[in-house]
Amino acid sequence: MRNTNWIYGLVTYTGHESKIMLNSVKAKPKKSKLERMMEKMIMLVFGFEILICLFCAIYYTVWYENNEDDLSYLHIPSDSNDSKGGYNFGTRFGNWIIIFSNMVPISLLVTLEMVKFFQGMLIARDPDMIHKETNTPTSVQSSNLNEELGQIEYVFSDKTGTLTQNYMEFRKLIAKGKPYGMDRSVEDISKFPDVTNVNFRDQNFLNALNRGDRDIEDYLLALGVCHTIITETKDGQIIYNASSPDELALVNFAKFVGCEYMGMDEDGRMQVSFKNTTHKYRLLQVLEFNSKRKRMSVIVEDGQGRILLYCKGADSILLELMDKSENPEIDETQSYLGEFADEGLRTLLICNKVIPKNEYDEWSKRYLNACIATEKRQEKMEELQAEIEKGLRLIGATAIEDKLQDDVGGTIAFLKKAGIKVWVLTGDKIETAINIGFSCNLLTKELQRLIVDGKTYDEVQKSLNEAQAPVDEAKKNGGEMKFALIVSGDALIQAMKEPLSTQMMEIANICEAVICCRVAPKQKAEVVQLVRKTVISLLLKIILTIKN
């Protein structure tokens, strides 16, 4: 909407019907285990006090009624309230409550709050907890959990934006089975466009591009079209507004080597400037990325009237949507992807296909009906998206680097030294996750890696049994062998089922580090809940979950 002068807007869902209100939940109070235990103890003490007061009040009422004739020296008129049983019971009960009020340790709660307050001040003034670059001290938002900071036994962490900076740099690529980016012979980049998120210096790629290599041209045009970037013009410069840093890195790389996305024209067509020619594409559909699909696609119509589908996504998904007989370079590409993953680079496949117009028209009608369906809309849309994305042709692959945060390796090393078990839940493939694990000291050469992979229940069960064998052997021999568990996302789907989940947790409890790869956000939540349920039922340990 930034490039629109004015619009008509109609608000349909407001107030409590808005998504943010429907998804909002009441914040739970943060209470430490000590506080919860104290609340129970105080309630027990108070209940015991009530029982004593009830006994004393009842005893007095009965005693008074039995001995009323012998109490004339008290001068209590027979028609006064003091001579009535109910009144006597109520007043004496109140008297005993006051007498025994010191049984409830109210001052203990006040003392604990004061201690936590001073602990918070010490944390805020700790010179070792100051960010030196900005001279920013620690801000204590809540002191309720102070005593539990030293009792944490498990740390769950995402990778992107937590262990890494979430700043993506385009490093390498594969075009039709041929890798580029290995050579870094280009030193002077002053002649290239000034772009961010690109660290590519391969002269061989530039030579092939200048020779008019068709595979490279197709690759760059795919990068220039397959995205959802919105452009904005400031001071004569085109500014890209991307939904993710990955997408920004890909489009900036295309611009860096001469294939620049220019934005939409007056007719709503995508403009890509490449080799002194402006290619125009009419955008027909955007099949958006989500954690389930793990890919995104655009369907466009080029200047020749051809309808093209461009798709980019995880190799584990897109390889299943290709016909290997039509893509002989798949094996080579997979081999290089493995090498890139070993370097810790994030990889994506780039594919396309030509859709016959009559086929697209028929599909488009069904897709439109699915988009306006009142029941099972998402399922119908995803089914049709999967239908049109079959039979893809491999164009190439991208490799992007996500740099680690400062001192993340030392931090994880200290956590492990303190006996804390670190779990990393990431969407990367196994090879990438392992490399990142070594980079941030989560994995070391002393740790024997136990890899659990598979798609079916039987495959995962066999893989878990193979991982269990060295663990049992180490227990039997009484050795000090240390382990790290690595679980793939496909295997995790089956491993969450009983009895595999119990077996996986038995292995994980022995391991110093656990990495879950190719996991969706929902799976991350399920893993945390599984560990919380298993560990709390066994040892009542404390879990810390870190998100970006």
Axis crossing angle, helix 377-388 with helix 357-371, rounded to the nearest 10: 170
Beta pairing, strands 230-234 & 513-516: unpaired
d(CA 274, CA 258): 6
Bridge partner residues of 259 (DSSP):
274
* CA distances for 444 relative to 268, 338, 395, angstroms: 53, 20, 36
d(CA 309, CA 301): 9
Q: What is the DSSP string of 210-235?
A: HTT-HHHHHHHHHHHHSS--EEEEET
Amino acid symbol at 399: A
Report the number of secondary-structure helices (H) and strands (E) in the chain: 17, 17
Contact 103, 49 (CB under 8 A): yes
Amino acid symbol at 94: G
158 is catalytic: yes
d(CA 268, CA 282): 7
426: closest CA among 410, 437, 441?
Answer: 437
Q: What share of the chain is helix, strand, coil (3-state, %, to 5)?
A: 45, 20, 30
Q: At 325, list the tokens.
A: 């007989």
Q: What is the DSSP string of 481-507?
A: -EEEEEE-HHHHHHHTSTTHHHHHHHH
Q: What is the DSSP string of 510-536?
A: H-SEEEE-S--HHHHHHHHHHHHHHHH
Among residues 69, 158, 202, 428, the one annotated as catalytic is 158
DSSP-based three-state secondary structure for 200: coil
Q: At 335, list the tokens.
A: 């081999």
Sign (positive or negative) of CA dihedral 372, 373, 378, 380: negative
Task: List the catalytic residues.
Answer: 158
